[in-house]
């Protein structure tokens, strides 16, 4: 019963507080909608205002904490997450649906990010460089930006919040985070970790609710200096426009239509393994999911037959069952969208070789389950080959030459991830060079990024910034050039330089 459900609150200025509206929304398990995880605050602009005010106040002191000490707190939080990894993963599976192996990886990604970023606090490198004038010292340093608004998605409910929060904090900023409405529990758990390790009040704030009531006020708030968003390209475009009048810094991580190329010399069993994991891991609900598989004609039929046979045997069900290999769609709307694209593929003339149906009967009726779905003989111009579906629907496209495959891959409006399977080093390096994406893999699917390298894409996938890697510090910090003149006299750069070098004979 709803009345028996636990109520979770916002976290503002170090306190758990109810929303100004006094209203809540339900969070249910997509694998079993009878499982009510809890009630969460249905917040509005007033809650955002309170959270931003707390963050702005805390920023004055937090930015002055030495970066190594900020890093030590983040490391403590990462170790707290490691200690609680299993319970955090189970909660994430319960509210998001993906299998336990994946949510354990999701939490581990957050742990890894914390360990990596904490070390950057001991580096936080600028640079020194010679001045063109004598007795003058020149260097560059990083400085914090202010209050960061973090708007996070549901598909990686722990990893992506940490990708944003940890570097923001390391750089001396304070944050207001809005978790996805499908996955607030995982971020609540992350905030509990912040409390447990002693992150000062006001430094981290969380407001739950939907995009129009919480996301918009964060984006438009005059005291929010930076907005970091992961989600759809349509919403990202709106956020970018909304932030432009105030010149807010904006980081956008958006859609993908990622392609895996299988050359005729590839190890086919390995390529099939990669296609299965890339296409159906997280039920295809990844921005990096392998949604296109380009196969050279010589091995096309053999690859397709093996892939369909293997995909047919995948066990679909509740992710809390360790034997399950693919979980549900996140909700009824996403499932409906997935099934609509199956209809579009049929209408366009693609050949449906596997799946395409909602799974029903028994426990399937409690959730939003769909068969792993494969279309063959897909033309690159078809909608199922061009548009992001975000579900377990894979388009298999035949090709003749590497040049043709590269052209097909690059025709996409997105440019997040790509991969090639080959035993030819020349082919591998040519594809690596010519495919225009932010991520690229050789003999691996289009998923599997690691935290110590930059994550992000080109074209409609992003706006040029990167998450993870040391490059993420460029998003959450501002560069300052510093000059120290100890000559005791006025020296004018670019003017008083002609006579500095005198050669005596």
Catalytic residues: 253, 287
Contact present, 285 and 251 (Cβ < 8 Å): no
Contact present, 327 and 99 (Cβ < 8 Å): yes
Compute the distance between CA of residue 281 and CA of residue 347 in angstroms, rounded to an integer: 26
Q: How far from chain centre, in Å, is Cα 100?
A: 19
- Which has the closest alpha carbon to 150: 168, 125, 135, 134? 168
- Which has the closest alpha carbon to 350: 327, 369, 377, 372? 377
Going by DSSP bridges, is the β-strand pair 127-130/136-143 parallel, antiparallel, or unpaired?
antiparallel
- Which has the closest alpha carbon to 107: 171, 169, 40, 187? 187
What interhelical angle do 67-83 and 85-96 show, nearest 10? 80
Measured over the CA atoms of residue 12, residue 15, residue 19 and residue 20, the dihedral's sign is negative
- Which has the closest alpha carbon to 341: 304, 378, 384, 312? 384
Strands (E), 308-392: 351-354, 373-376
Contact present, 148 and 224 (Cβ < 8 Å): yes
Question: 115-142 burial, b if ≥16 CB within 10 A, otherwise e?
Answer: bbbbbbbeebeeeeeebebeeeebeeeb
Contact present, 296 and 263 (Cβ < 8 Å): yes
Q: How far from chain centre, in Å, is Cα 429?
A: 27
- Residue 367 tokens read as 């959730």
Contacts of 248 by beta carbon, 8 Å cutoff, 6+ apart: 224, 225, 226, 227
In this structure, the number of other CB atoms found within 10 A of the CB of residue 370 comes to 25
Q: Which residue has the tokens 């739950």?
A: 208
Tell me the three state secondary structure of residue 348. helix
Compute the distance between CA of residue 8 and CA of residue 38 in angstroms, rounded to an integer: 7
- Residue 135 tokens read as 């007795």
Contact present, 283 and 391 (Cβ < 8 Å): yes
- Residue 327 tokens read as 């979980």
Contact present, 314 and 325 (Cβ < 8 Å): yes
Please tell me the total number of residues recorded for the chain in this structure: 505
Going by DSSP bridges, is the β-strand pair 478-485/136-143 parallel, antiparallel, or unpaired?
antiparallel
Which region, left, alpha or beta, applies to residue 236 given φ > 0 means left and ψ of -120 to 50 means alpha? alpha
- Residue 151 tokens read as 């708007």
């Amino acid at each position: 019963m709803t009345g028996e459900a636990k109520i979770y609150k916002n976290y503002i200025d170090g306190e758990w507080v109810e929303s100004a509206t006094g209203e809540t929304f339900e969070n249910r398990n997509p694998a079993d909608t009878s499982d009510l995880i809890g009630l969460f605050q249905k917040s509005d602009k007033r809650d955002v205002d309170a959270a931003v005010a707390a963050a702005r106040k805390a920023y004055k002191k937090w930015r002055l904490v030495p970066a190594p000490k900020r890093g030590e707190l983040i490391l403590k939080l990462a170790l707290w997450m490691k200690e609680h990894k299993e319970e955090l993963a189970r909660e994430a599976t319960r509210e998001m649906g993906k299998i336990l192996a994946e949510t354990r990886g999701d939490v581990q990604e957050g742990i890894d990010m914390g360990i990596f970023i904490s070390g950057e606090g001991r580096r936080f490198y600028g640079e020194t460089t010679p001045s063109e004038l004598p007795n003058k010292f020149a260097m560059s340093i990083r400085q914090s930006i202010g209050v960061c608004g973090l708007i996070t998605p549901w598909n990686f409910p722990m990893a992506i919040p940490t990708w944003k929060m940890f570097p923001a904090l390391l750089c001396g900023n304070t944050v207001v985070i809005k978790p996805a409405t499908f996955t607030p529990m995982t971020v609540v758990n992350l905030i509990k970790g912040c409390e447990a390790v002693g992150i000062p009040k006001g430094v981290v704030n969380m407001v739950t609710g939907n995009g129009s009531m919480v996301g918009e006020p964060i984006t438009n708030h005059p005291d929010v200096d930076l907005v970091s968003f992961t989600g759809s390209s349509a919403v990202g475009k709106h956020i970018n426009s909304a932030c432009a009048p105030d010149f807010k810094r904006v980081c956008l991580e958006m859609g993908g239509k990622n392609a895996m190329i299988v050359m005729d010399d590839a190890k086919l069993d390995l390529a099939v393994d990669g296609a299965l994991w890339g296409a159906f891991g997280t039920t295809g609900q990844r921005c990096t999911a392998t949604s296109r598989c380009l196969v050279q004609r010589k091995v096309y039929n053999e690859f397709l037959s093996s892939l369909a046979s293997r995909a047919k045997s995948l066990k679909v069900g509740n992710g809390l069952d360790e034997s399950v290999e693919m979980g549900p769609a996140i909700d009824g709307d996403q499932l409906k969208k997935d099934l609509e694209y199956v209809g579009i593929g049929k209408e366009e003339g693609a050949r449906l070789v596997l799946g395409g149906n909602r799974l029903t009967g028994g426990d399937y009726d409690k959730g939003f389950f769909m068969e792993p779905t494969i279309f063959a003989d897909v033309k690159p111009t078809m909608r199922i080959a061009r548009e992001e579906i975000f579900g377990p629907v894979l388009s298999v496209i035949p090709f003749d030459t590497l040049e043709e495959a590269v052209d097909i891959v690059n025709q996409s409006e997105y440019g997040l991830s790509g991969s090639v399977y080959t035993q030819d080093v020349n082919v591998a390096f040519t594809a690596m060079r010519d495919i225009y994406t932010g991520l690229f893999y050789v003999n691996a699917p289009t998923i599997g990024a690691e935290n110590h390298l930059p994550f992000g894409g080109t074209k409609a996938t992003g706006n040029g910034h990167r998450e993870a890697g040391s490059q993420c510090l460029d998003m959450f910090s501002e560069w300052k050039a510093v000059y120290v003149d100890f000559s005791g006299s006025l020296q004018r750069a670019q003017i008083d330089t002609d006579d500095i070098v005198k050669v005596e004979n």
